Structure 1
Amino acid sequence: MMSMRTMEPIDSTNELGGRRRTAAILMLALCVFIIGTAELLPMGLLLPISGDIGVTIPTAGMLVTGYALGVVFGGPVLSILTGRLPRKALMCSLIVLFMVGGGICAVAPTYAILIIGRIISALAHGVLFGIMVVTAKTIAPPGKEGASIAMVGSGLTIAVILGAPLGAFLGQQFGWRLPFLVVTLLSFAALLGIMKLVPSMPSTESAPIKGQLRTVSRPQFILVLLMTVFGAGGTFVAFTYITPILERITLLSEGAISVVLLIFGIGSMIGNLLGGKWSDRRLLPTLFGGMALLAVSMAFFSITSHNKAAAIVTVFVWGMAAYSIITPLNIRVLQKAGHAQELASTLNISAFNLGNALGAYIGGLVIDSTLGLPAVPWAASLVTVAGIALTAWSVHLDRRVAGCTEIGSAGMGRCEA
């Protein structure tokens, strides 16, 4: 039997026509949509799951936390173990693994089996995201890498806007198992699309594992991951609690809150596409500008949340800013990754999930303190300001290293970077 490496020895990305390239990128975006929807599903189904399986709501909430931990810790390990396998074959294998996890969730008779299914899907999640980001960059036309990554990333924003709410609706109407089954069936359709449209690619990780680990453990790379943690974390300090803010401070009805969340999602989609387009032109200004707008918009939300019209406008700008930084952060990570591109991208997905968890935790601490719910947007803004400071430090180190390189090439003596 031929090995996976023998089956896919040729890199056919250069043979892609314009339509095939676009179709492949859209198929990757569909996969991201499916994965993002699956991750968010339990958030809208905690009550029916807890009632049917016979566990408390906080215990059911571990389906979200356990999944996030699976992405944070399992993704990088699996990425290291599979780094030398052909990319397309690995991508298809991971989609199958993701389907297995989803299928287990759909038929799980007990809570223990349900959470096992979630963890299985989570293990595939981190590596799949990493491969898809690098694949989007690889098959993009020259100079359009950021736009290609943003297009694939738009699948996640659509999952937030459409996938998760639709999954919650199906679960409430027809039982919580149906959305997991639908996601599994969609995953199979995506698998067929990936097999047909995405070109064969050999392993991109030619460096030894020790070399890759050395690369991703360098202070400059860790600093870039921390930029992601605090960038994503800042958003989720406030977004995790946006519903109670809109309900208790802005005094919106449940229906109006749904509309505002949709407006946030529309803003996030626009921000994601603009961030990708501008990253191809001026990466660092796009990243700094997006983070600054994010910090300012969340700080303003603590004021505008007392006025319905102003709150809606602020939420739209907030959504734009929050997702405008995703592609620049991805590209920044890949720039620092050397030959560890997919491991680095997987670690960045872990950093996003860690930021989400950290942000929710910080927001909860603020609510439980004497500051209370109105101070949550301010706390979110401060976390993002920390991300801006880390980004400035990263750029400073880049310039310092560049200066040291110039001094060394000119033979002017030793320079410690």
Structure 2
Amino acid sequence: MPLALLALAAGAFGVGTTEFVAMGILPDVAAGFGVSIPAAGYIISSYAVGVVVGAPLLTALGARLDRKILLLALLALFTLGNLATALAPTFEFLIAARVITALPHGTFFGVGAVVAAALVAPHRRAQAVSLVMAGLTVANIVGVPAGTWAAQALGWRTTFVFIALMGLVSLAVVALLVPRQPAQPGASAVQELGALRRGQVWLALLVGAVGFGGMFASYSYISPMLTEITGLAEAVVPVVLAIYGVGMTVGMLVGGWAADRALLPTIYGALTMIAVVLLALAALLTYPWFAVALVFLTGVAGSSLVPALQMRLMNTAHDAPSLAAALNHSALNFANALGAWLGGVVIAAGFGLTAPSLLGAGLAVLGLIVALYSGLVERRGVRPAQTAPPATSPAHLPA
């Protein structure tokens, strides 16, 4: 694999760290600004808003730029956003800085996926994309624990200073190792937004929003599940979460390998695995070893879906792959919010801490139904209502 893929993975590592480290430093941020823990949680939701807004906006605005230049601009904005977060004088400024930091998230992964796919042979595109995305999962194993430790030992602002330094390192390695990649001839914001006229793009986004939401419905409440049902000590929970991160990394790489061989079957298999694993988790949470093993498999199942969905979107978007790939991350952040909210609803309704896993299995099945419908439409050559006519030439990724 080209070294450029490792440079892109380094950027993904920094982006993943700044997204997920917020969960580990909420008490420090709350204490620093004198706000409640729930109020401090706005640094998480504000980041999700930034991802959802920034993905289509920045991808469309950067459609005509050389992709390497666009990646460097996105990393520069990411770095400045983290520096502003570290220096935030008020809580309101902090929230605004988090939104700014999140704006390049979806576009970085979307454009990075297109660049990665163009660097390798066609039969290895999904593997290349999964290697870049693996930087996001490794962040959960290394970056998030390190950032949490830094916040506890040196103050939460230090965490974001370190992440800003990661951004500078990523800028340097992308500038050094990633080759120039001109935008597709005739590319424009209108062309990129044209991907949204294709029914298959919306079906793929719906698969991610619903199916991946099933995983988040369960994982959002994994800590209380492990302590209150499994009976693990709180000190053990971070170790289990690191095991989940390892599972995510394994799933990302395996999912990329499988997607290169059979794209739609990989999506079907990942969604089926999510449903089965979550059902097993709900049934076996009282057995510690089974619970830990199933947390690992939850990470494998969920992450194996991501590169396959990324490739599905890039293929179905035809001549506008960057926006479709970027919107995948908007869909996944929507899945995060949807799953966490629905999981909280069933807990608040009195169904207990196993209910989110059962709900998550149901959402995964719904995602599978949407994916099967998408595949059926493709096989029959039938367009869903109100979609653009299919391309007259085979889909391909521009170099």
**TM-score between the two structures when normalised by the length of structure 1:** 0.89
| Counterpart residue identity of residue 222, structure 2 | I
Answer yes or no: is 1:49 the counterpart of 2:40.
no
Q: What CA RMSD, in Å, does the superposition of the two structures yield over aligned residues?
A: 1.7
Look up the match of 2:181.
201
> 1:266-292: per-residue Cα shift (whole Å, max 9, x none)?
222111111111111111221111111
Please give the alpha-carbon distance, in whole angstroms, between the structure 1 residues aligned to 2:293 and 2:133: 24
**How much does 1:403 deviate?**
10
| Superposition pairs of residues 136-175 of structure 1, within 5 angstroms | 136-175=116-155
Match of 2:389 in 1: none
Q: Number of aligned pairs?
A: 385
Quote the Cα distance in structure 2 between the aligned partners of 1:204 and 1:68: 29
How far is the alpha carbon of 1:79 from its aligned partner? 1.2
Q: Deviations over 1:284-305 (max 9, x none)?
A: 2211111111110001100110
Match of 1:81 in 2: 61
Taking the aligned partners of 1:353 and 1:403, their CA distance within structure 2 comes to 28
For residues 71-119 of structure 1, give each alpha carbon's deviation from its aligned partner in whole angstroms, at most 9, with x where no partner exists: 0122211211111111111111111111111111111111122112111
Equivalent position amino acid for 2:346 in 1: V
Offset from partner CA, 1:163-220 (integer Å, 9 cap, x none): 1111011101100000100010111011011111000011137344334323323322
320, 324, 335: which is aligned to 1:340? 320
Residues 1:303 and 2:293 aligned together:
no
Q: 1:211 to 1:94 in 2, by over 3 A?
A: closer
Describe how 1:52-201 pairs up with structure 2 within 5 A: 52-201=32-181
Provide the residue aligned with 2:354 in structure 1. Answer: 374
Q: Which runs of 5+ in 2 are unaligned?
A: 385-399
CA contact (8 A) 1:33 1:156 kept: yes
**Structure 1 unmatched ranges of 5 or more:** 1-20, 405-417
Between the aligned partners of 1:380 and 1:299, the Cα distance in structure 2 is 9
Aligned-partner Cα distance in 2 for 1:42–1:370: 28
Structure 1 residue identity aligned to 2:64: R
1:205–1:342 CA contact under 8 A, matched in 2: no
Match of 1:38 in 2: 18
* Conservation of the 8 A alpha-carbon contact between 1:53 and 1:109: no
Match of 1:310, as an amino acid? F
Hey, what does 1:397 align to over in structure 2? 377
Do structure 1's residue 223 and structure 2's residue 194 form an aligned pair? no
- Partners of 1:228 and 1:205 lie apart in 2 by 30
Superposition deviation, residue 40 in structure 1: 1.4
**Residues 1:273 and 1:204: Cα distance change in structure 2 (over 3 Å):** same
Q: How high is the sequence identity, in percent, across the aligned residues?
A: 38
Distance 1:255 1:114 in 2: 30
Report the alpha carbon displacement of residue 56 of structure 1 after superposing the two structures with TM.
2.0
Residues 194 and 320 of structure 2 are in contact (CA less than 8 Å); yes or no, is this contact kept in structure 1? no
2-side partners of 1:209 and 1:281: how far apart? 32
Larger Rg: 1
TM-score under structure 2 length normalisation:
0.93
Distance 1:375 1:403 in 2: 37
Kept in 1, the 8 Å contact 2:17–2:140? The answer is yes
Does the 8 Å contact 1:87/1:204 carry over to 2? no
